[in-house]
Each structure stands twice: as C-alpha cells, then as structure tokens.
Amino acid sequence: MLWESFKLALRSVRRNVLRSILTLLGIVIGVAAVIALVTIGSGANEKISSDISKLGSNMLIVRPGNQGPGAPGGNEARSFTERDVEALRNGVALVRAIAPTASKQAIIVYDATSTDASVTGADQAFFVAQDWSFIQGGSFTESDVRAASNVCVIGTTIVSTLLPNVDPLGQTIRVGAMPCSVVGVLGSKGQSAFGTDQDNIVVMPLRTFQRRIAGNTKISNISVSANSPTAVKSAQDSITAILRETRHIGENDQEDFSVRDMTQIAATMSATTTLMTGLLGAVAAVSLLVGGIGIMNIMLVSVTERTREIGIRLAIGALASQVLTQFLVEAVVLCLLGGFLGVCLGFGLAGLASFFLAIPFAPDPKVVVMAFGFSGLIGLVFGFFPARNAARLDPIEALRHE
Amino acid sequence: MISLRNVTRTYGEGDAEVRALAGLDLDIAAGSFVAIMGASGSGKSTTMNILGCLDTASSGTYNFNGIDITGLSRDARALLRRNYLGFVFQGFNLLARTTALENVELPLVYRGMARNLREEKALAAMQAVGLHGRESHTPSELSGGQQQRVAIARAIVSDPLVLLADEPTGNLDSERSHDIMRLLQKLNKDRGITVIMVTHEADMADYANRIIQFADGHIANDLQKGRT
C-alpha cells in the first residue's frame, strides 16, 4: 500500500511539474541555505585552523601595547629592545625559538618592475618560530645578522611579480633605497586568516632593517614558538613576568605589551563563524517553515481538485486511513524531492563559495541526512491537515463533486 | 440477502427537515436483478446509497447477508463495500490519466493483494466485459460504452455479492445502453451476482426480473417478473 501510494505521489508530482516545483521552492531554498551555510561554515573553520597552524605551531606573539593587534595605541606604545629579547632568550624555558621582528611596507624594485611588500627584519629564529620552509637557498647566517649585511629572503609572490623568469638566488633587488642580494626563497603559505598575502614578504637581518629601512632600533614584535601545546601557557606566563621586569612595570600597573596565543585567536574566529552560521541557520529555518506552509496550501488545493477521485476511492473500499496515507505520502514525497533539490543547490552554492573564497569544500554527510529527515518531517507535519481533510470526506458528497 | 426494515432517512433539522425515505421495507433475494425506478426525489438514490453502505439510515435496520449494518462504523462499512459490493455510476467515475487496467485493479490494491495476482484478476475482469486488448488505454481514449465496461470490470473484479448500478446507461446512446444491459444481465445469470440498478428508462428496466417503483419515499409498485 505504501509503495502504491509512493507511485501515485510520483505520478501526481509529474502531472503538475511546474506547480510542484513552485510549491517546493520554499523547501528548496531553506534546505539549500542550511546545506550551503553549514558547508561553507565548516570550510571556513577548517581554513582558519589551517591558517593559524601555518602561522607557526604553538605560537605566541608578543606585541607592544595592550589592546590587541591593530587597535589604536598599539603602534604608539613602547616597542621592545634587544635587552628584552636577551632577557627572554635567557629566561623562558620550553621554547624552540624566540624571534624579534620589525616590519614595514616598502617598495621593492627589480629591473624596471616594482611592487609593494611587507619588509620584515628578523634573525634566523624567525623562520623556526613561524614555521617557514625554503624552496630555494636558505636563511641568511648569524654573521649576516651580526654584520647587518645587505641580504634578504623573499616570498613566492615577490618571485612571481618581480623575478618570474630568472633564478632569484643571487639577484639584487632594491628594498626602498637599499640594494640587497637574494639568498633564499620561502615556501608558500598563501593567504592569512586576516586576508593578507603572507607570501608577499621580504625578510632581512633585523639590524639591516633597523638601520637601512626603519631608521630606528625598534623591535615591533616578538614571535615565540613553544615546544609543545602544553608549554604554551607556561611560556606565556614567564614571558609576561620577564617583560614586566625588564620594562620596569610596577606591580599594580597594567602591562604595556600583550602576549597572545594564536590558538586563542583561532578559537575567537571560529566562535564568530559558528555564531554567523547559527544566525543564518535560523533564517533558513524560517524559510523551511514558509516552505511547509506552501506545501500545506498546495495539498489543500490538490485535495479539493481531487475530491471526486477521493470519492471513487472511498466508494470502492478505500479506508479513511488509506486515503490519509496516500496524501501524506504525497506531501512527504514532494518535500523529500524539495530536500533533494535543496541539497544539490546547497552543495552547488557551497562549491562556488569555496572556489571564490578559497576555503576548503567540506561537505558533511550528517547535514545531508538531517536535511532529508527535516524535509520529510515538514511533509508529515504540513501534509497531515490536508490529508485528514481528504480522509474525512463523505463519499456521497465527494462523488457528486464536479 | 438484503433486508431493510422501516428505514427512514431525513436530511436537515427542524423546519428544514426533508424526509427522503419514510419507513421503507425492502427485501432483495440473492441472485436477483432489480431495477429501481421513480421520479427525482422519490428516494431511489437515497435507497441506493444506504444499500451501498455509503450512507446510513436515520432509523430502522439494514441487514446485509446476515450482517446488521445499522450501527457500523465508517471503516467497517468501507470494508463491507470492499468485500461484498461493486459500484457502477452514471458518470463512469474512472480515474483520469490512469490506464483501464489500473482502474480495474484499484479495489484489489486497497485489499492489499499482490501485484501479479491483482493483474491476473484485472485482466480476467477486462476479458469478462469484452475489453480485452484495451488494458493500457486511459479513459479519455475510450468511448463512453467502453468506459462503462471498464467501470463494470472494476466493480466485478473483487467478486462482489451485489452490483449497485446508478443509472448505468444514463450517459450512453441506445445501442451502447442495450450492450451494457446485456452485460449486466449476463453477469447476473452467469456469476449469480445480485444486480440492483436505478434507471429512468423503461426498456432498460425490462432487463431486470423485478421492477420497483418509488414515489415520495415509499415503494409505490413492486413488480416481480417470472424467471425467464
């Protein structure tokens, strides 16, 4: 009987293709929204965590100022000195690398082409702390750092914009007014979680940067890489204690620097995407509700249109429950069809989004099952009232219906 | 087999009350072919509805084949229709856009019969009404007479005890009407199906072996013909 009802339902959908599709739009849009949002959301989360891990594993970033990155006051705050770095190198246990850095945007010129890039002054520890690899050449040496040599390491974006057809190693590029010789090319990291191109970078010895590019001896931040995830917290505490001392901060005064754990930033960012997904999911739920009402409406119309058919069925011995089943199955089949179209559309949208936003495409089978289950449920709930109307028809009246 | 005792049927209430049947007594023996005649509003359609278990009497009793129908529930009456009764209507009442065979199979679908068995019985019924070869036609592809034959096939496919025909020839021309009547007569004779038929036309009623005239909710005349 169920199978018969299923076949009848399919036939009735086929008879009114356009009407069925229009009826289903609400469900299709609702399901597509849910599928697309969840897929894009989990892709974005995946992207964020992989971006954060690309910044360097177990990484802490020490910055001057205490209002977070980019907040006003951050740049005006007292920067770090070599003494601070020395004290950290001697005092913090369980860390792989402590890398003082300073950076600035500058024009990079090679031959007749130029580009704007982030120029960073650092020592060799920088490449360890931020997990950089080399695809060509290698880091500048300790003596380069000490002697403030005119050498640099460049990111892949610089290679592709300035030196596309030459071997970059040994070439001399101009950074600002300073010529410097390329000794290494960094492996690509792609876009950061904040949307900047991490490969558009020139790294040179810190002292070279300070003297020739920045014109001061400021260290604008310190990257610290802990040995293990469990060491991050204790490293954070001991960095704070040491810097308070070297920077002469009174016991009751606030720090004029911040030590941020990248995993915290990651957690904050995923919490934001989760919230967005949740909110948009609520919108999708409203759309599903509207879709359900559409289904109810069209089922009521269908029952009225087919009153005579229902009368015939009742007269030749259909039980009220069999008529009820038939119309319920029809509503459920309609909704499942809507669910199916919605899943396809949702994945299509998520695929497009992941292509254009450069985030991973992360389809979740659980969501598909849920979307189908939910569409079926909508069919049952909103199909019940029209189906009950059909089942309650008086066969004599129904047969007289034109 | 059928016994109505003092059956009344009223519609509406109070001043608007209409008495369609006023204390009807009617017995119909198994195997008979009964024609019910009468003017509109004489109560014949109401009687048919009650006999067909589509409607219930306001008072009185209805005994069908030893079963007291009087107080039965909707579903119980549906089961009775499914198992013992077949219906033929003036307007054929076939499902549109559904093949003749599927139409004939329909009562068996509701009985939960297996597909191959169902098809076998439906094919046999189509054969019995002389429509062999038209199984895959939809009603719109069939003439009126053929549609009514499909309807008769549908009514007899479940081997009913009683066939209720409400003006079965009302929408057909004279020649087709006689064809249908001969078919009903044949089913009555060969299979022993009790046929109860409402008709306006005296020459159709002539096929029956009992003619009942209704007037104002009563039986005005009950003519029993000798068995031929």
Confidence of residue A72 (pLDDT cuts 50, 70, 90): very low
User: Which of B32, B19, B36 is CA-nearest to residue B197?
Assistant: B36
Q: Which helix (H) or strand (E) holds A394?
A: none
Q: Do B95 and A312 touch (CB under 8 A)?
A: yes
Average pLDDT over residues A301-311: 92
Return all residues near A330 (Cβ < 8 A) that are at least 6 apart: A5, A8, A9, A12, A13, A299, A302, A383
Q: Is the pLDDT of residue B19 over 90?
A: no
Chain B residues 4-43 with CB within 8 Å of chain A: none
What is the crossing angle of helices A262-305 and A365-391, to 10°? 20
- Residue A14 β-bridge partners: none
Tokens of B63: 């005994």
Q: Which whole number is the average pLDDT over A221-247?
A: 88
Measured between beta carbons, which residues in chain B are less than 8 angstroms from residue A17?
Answer: none
- Using alpha carbons, select from A394, A400, A378 the residue that is nearest to residue A26: A378
Q: How confident is the model at residue B226 (pLDDT cuts 50, 70, 90)?
A: low
- Measured distance CA(A378)–CA(A346) in Å, rounded: 18
Query: A315: which chain B residues are within 8 Å (Cβ-Cβ)?
Result: 52, 54, 81, 87, 93
Q: What integer is the mean pLDDT of A355-379?
A: 87
Select the highest-mean-pLDDT range: A156-165, A246-255, A276-285.
Answer: A156-165
Amino acid at B131: L
Sorting pLDDT into bands at 50, 70 and 90, what band is B228? very low
In chain A, residues with a C-beta closer than 8 Å to the C-beta of B75 are: 319-321
**For the ranges A75-79, A214-218, A295-299, A394-398, which has the lowest average pLDDT?**
A75-79
Task: For chains A and B, count residue pairs whose Cβ atoms are closer than 8 Å.
Answer: 57
- Chain B (124-143) residues lying within 8 Å, Cβ to Cβ, of chain A: none
d(Cα A167, Cα A358) in Å, to the nearest integer? 29
Tokens 């007899």 -> residue: B156
Q: Tell me what the pLDDT averaged over chain A comes to.
A: 87
pLDDT, tens digit (0-9, with 9 covering 90-100), for A126-152: 998 888 899 999 999 989 999 999 999
**The pLDDT value given to residue A56:** 67
Which tops the pLDDT comparison, A360 or B179? Answer: B179
Position A128: which residue type?
Answer: V
The answer to whether residues A372 and A343 touch, using CB atoms and an 8 Å cutoff, is yes
pLDDT (mean) for A72-92: 78
Question: Which pLDDT tens digit goes with each residue over A53-66?
Answer: 766 668 888 888 87
- Answer whether B83 touches A (CB < 8 Å): yes
- Compute the nearest-CA separation of A295 from chain B (Å): 23
Closest CB to A309: pick one of B52, B79, B95: B95
Run of H or E residues at A197: none
Beta bridge partners of B34: B196, B210
User: Does residue A74 have a pLDDT over 50?
Assistant: no
pLDDT at A75 over 70: no
Q: How far is B88 from chain A (nearest CA, A)?
A: 10
Q: With bands split at pLDDT 50, 70 and 90, how would you rate the model's confidence at B181?
A: very high
**A188-202, A305-319, B172-186, range with the lowest pLDDT:** A188-202
pLDDT at A70 over 70: no
Nearest residue in B to A323, CA atom:
B110
Q: How confident is the model at residue A307 (pLDDT cuts 50, 70, 90)?
A: very high
> Do residues A130 and A223 touch, judged by C-beta distance below 8 A?
yes
State which H helix or E strand residue B163 sits in: strand B162-166
The predicted-structure confidence for A95-113, as pLDDT tens digits, reads as follows 888 999 999 999 999 988 9
CA dihedral A124, A128, A132, A133 (to 10 degrees): 90
Judge whether A371 and A34 are in contact, CB under 8 Å. Answer: yes
Do B83 and A317 count as a contact with CB atoms less than 8 A apart? yes
Instruction: Report how far Cα A88 is from the mean position of its chain's Cα atoms.
Output: 34
Confidence of residue A269 (pLDDT cuts 50, 70, 90): confident
What is the predicted pLDDT for the residue at B227? Answer: 52
Please compute the mean of the pLDDT values over residues B155-179 and round it to a whole number: 94
Average confidence score pLDDT of chain B: 92
Q: Which residues of B touch A314 (CB under 8 A)?
A: 78
Supply the pLDDT for residue A57. 65
Q: Which residue, B75, B69, B74, B33, is CA-closest to B163? A: B33
Residues from chain B contacting residue A310 (CB–CB below 8 Å): none
Q: Give the mutation candidate from B46, B72, B80, B110 for the A interface (greatest A CB count, under 10 A).
A: B110
Query: For residue A228, what pLDDT is reported?
Result: 83
CB contact burial A163-177 (16+ within 10 A = b; e otherwise): beeeebeebebebbe
Cα(A354)–Cα(A348) distance, integer angstroms: 10
Is there a contact between A396 and B81 if contact means CB atoms under 8 Å apart? Answer: no
Q: Which two tokens stand for residue A326?
A: 């038939």
DSSP helix/strand/coil, B134: coil
Amino acid B160: pLDDT: 95
| Range of lowest pLDDT (A193-197, B1-5, B200-204) | A193-197
DSSP 8-state code for residue A210: I
Superfamily in which the B2-224 domain is placed by CATH: P-loop containing nucleotide triphosphate hydrolases (3.40.50.300)
pLDDT band at B123 (very low <50, low <70, confident <90, very high): very high
Segment A24-51 mean pLDDT = 84
Identify the three-state secondary structure at position B1: coil
Is the model's pLDDT at B28 over the cut of 60? yes
- Are the beta carbons of A320 and B75 separated by less than 8 Å? yes
Name A302's Cβ contacts closer than 8 Å, sequence gap at least 6.
A12, A327, A330, A386
> Does B148 have pLDDT greater than 90?
yes
Residue B106 with chain A: CB contacts under 8 Å:
313, 316
Q: What's the CA gap between B161 and A195, in Å, rounded?
A: 82
For residue A254, pLDDT beyond 60: yes
CB contacts of A317 in chain B (<8 Å) are: 78-79, 81-83, 107, 110-111, 158
Q: Among B139, B57, B145, which Cα is nearest to B106's?
A: B139
Q: Domain limits of chain B?
A: 2-224
Half-sphere exposure of A352 (CA within 13 A, CB side): 8
CA distances from A170 to A150, A166, B89, B160 (A): 12, 10, 99, 101
Query: Residue A71: pLDDT band by 50, 70, 90 thresholds?
Result: very low
Q: What is the pLDDT of residues B85-99, one digit of tens each?
A: 999 999 999 998 899
pLDDT at B177 > cutoff 90: yes
Mean pLDDT of A288-316: 91
8 Å CB contact of A319 and B79: yes
Q: Round to whole Å and give the CA distance between B200 and B44.
A: 11
* End-to-end alpha carbon distance in chain A: 27
Residues of B in contact with A308 (CB under 8 A): 93
Mean pLDDT of B123-142: 93
Beta-bridge partner residues of A46: none
| CB A235, CB A95: distance < 8 Å | yes
Interface test with B, best of A6, A16, A310, A316 (most B CBs within 10 A): A316
User: Which residue in the set B95, B97, B112 is minimally distant from A1, CB to CB?
Assistant: B112
Q: Cβ separation of A315 and B81 shorter than 8 Å?
A: yes
In chain A, the largest separation of any two C-alpha atoms, in whole Å, equals 104
Look at phi and psi of residue B70 and say left if phi exceeds 0, alpha if psi is from -120 to 50, else beta.
alpha
